[in-house]
Structure 1
């Protein structure tokens, strides 16, 4: 649906995305991969899969590499997805994204297939469906993993959050080539340092996550999975509708700092099956 469509009243309860019963606690092995709790474990795990199509450890075979990764092949709520305009329901009942981010010490980590920025202290939170999710880390994919109407963009950042009961919510922002991204400009020197050194971690001092700009109140919401093994499901996905900009040099820098053999790190689009995708749009059309 486009902006000319009228915002509808909240749908009946049985048609809405019911987050609470669908989201299950995150398992310990997932947290080790997702949050970078153990560097050696991360390096070992991340090197066991690749993004090379038709290879033995490529995306089509992730579910065969380890028994605990079987969801990558058998799951019916996998991510990323193609967000098709004609399948999206415009709603206002989801409410605005309330983020309460704050500056905190952070570490850049080369996870073997991407760069991750992990906040070491309390970097704030977002509120979803009445639950507070603490910001843990951000990492980058190029090209974008999610697509809009079959269009893939040049980069996507994932902001990973975790609740007190170990539920996970990921906020995704897509980028196209254009003006520099201000946040990557802030950590440019640290990324360049990782290009020139074999170190996999680098303390970067205090980083303010608010520098990751949203630019719009509109967002898509659906239930999916991690986009890397073990592909755990019941992840709350929030994808900002606004596509922001990044330069080609910034995208190349993110890839160069990883030191892997691949030029991309985006999982192929997964079947949406019978899942619903909602687009939150404020009732006040003067809002972005």
Structure 2
């Protein structure tokens, strides 16, 4: 299996390595995605995405592959995501942060073949149809994901900084640290084009 992994690695081969992952080879709508701007179609009826302004707090966890921020389960005020192409309301649950090491590009997805320094992915579950993320995970229209590509620059994002200040506390796999409150809306708006 080790030699096979070296010869055939990456998402394109996951379906060959394990029959349970066969959609990785056959599916056409899963990560990673290379967005080709010249092939996108303009939708004049597409609405803006709406994200509630409530602040959230939670735990930052190092999975060994990425950092994951999960909202506290005891949160009384939830952040909802709606609008855009969404027909339902989705309750924000977690952020995945993918990043590169020492001058390597780290985004999971690409635009015109270009990989960015990092990628922030917001995930929520369909609260109109399901009770929680686990229930919605493998259901039709159960999960929403919004990706933001990050490029290193001179203008800091204060909301992102609230999360990144605890990165040094989760440098090893399976370590956790409480992250201070952050407005998901402000984080999103500061990266809009």
- TM-score for the superposition, normalised by structure 2: 0.73
Cα 1:149–1:59 change in 2 (3 A) is closer
Instruction: Return the match for 1:183 from 145, 159, 162.
Output: 159
Look up the match of 1:139: 96
Gaps of 5+ in 1: 1-52, 217-239, 243-288
Q: How many residues align?
A: 165
- Distance (whole Å) between structure 2 residues aligned to residue 80 and residue 199 of structure 1: 24
Within 1, Cα distance between the matches of 2:158 and 2:46? 29
User: Which residue does the alignment assign to 1:93?
Assistant: 45
| In the alignment, structure 1 residue 127 sits paired with structure 2 residue 127 | no
* C-alpha distance in 1 between matches for 2:7 and 2:67: 23
3-state SS of paired residue (1:186): helix
Counterparts in 2 of 1:173 and 1:154: CA distance versus 1, 3 Å: same
Gaps of 5+ in 2: 100-105, 130-135, 137-141
The answer to whether the aligner puts 1:212 opposite 2:190 as a matched pair is no
* Alignment partner, residue 132 of structure 2: none
What is the aligned partner in structure 2 of residue 269 from structure 1? none
- Contact 2:70 2:93 survives alignment (8 Å): yes
Partners of 2:17 and 2:58 in 1: CA distance: 32
Q: Does 1:162 align with 2:125?
A: yes
Cα distance in structure 1, aligned partners of 2:174 and 2:40: 44
Residues 1-288 of structure 1 correspond to what in structure 2 (within 5 A)? 54=6, 58-120=10-72, 121=75, 122-128=77-83, 129-142=86-99, 143-164=106-127, 165=129, 166=136, 167-179=142-154, 180-195=156-171, 200-215=175-190, 242=193
Equivalent-residue separation in structure 2 for 1:159 and 1:62 (angstroms): 24
CA distance in structure 2 between the aligned counterparts of 1:215 and 1:92, rounded to whole angstroms: 24
Change (3 A) 1:55 1:103: farther
| In structure 2, C-alpha distance between the alignment counterparts of 1:146 and 1:57, rounded to whole Å | 17
Report which structure shows greater RCO (CA 8 Å, sep ≥6).
Answer: 1
User: RMSD in angstroms over aligned alpha carbons?
Assistant: 2.5
TM-score, normalization: structure 1?
0.51
Q: Tell me the distance in 1 between the aligned counterparts of 2:174 and 2:107.
A: 26
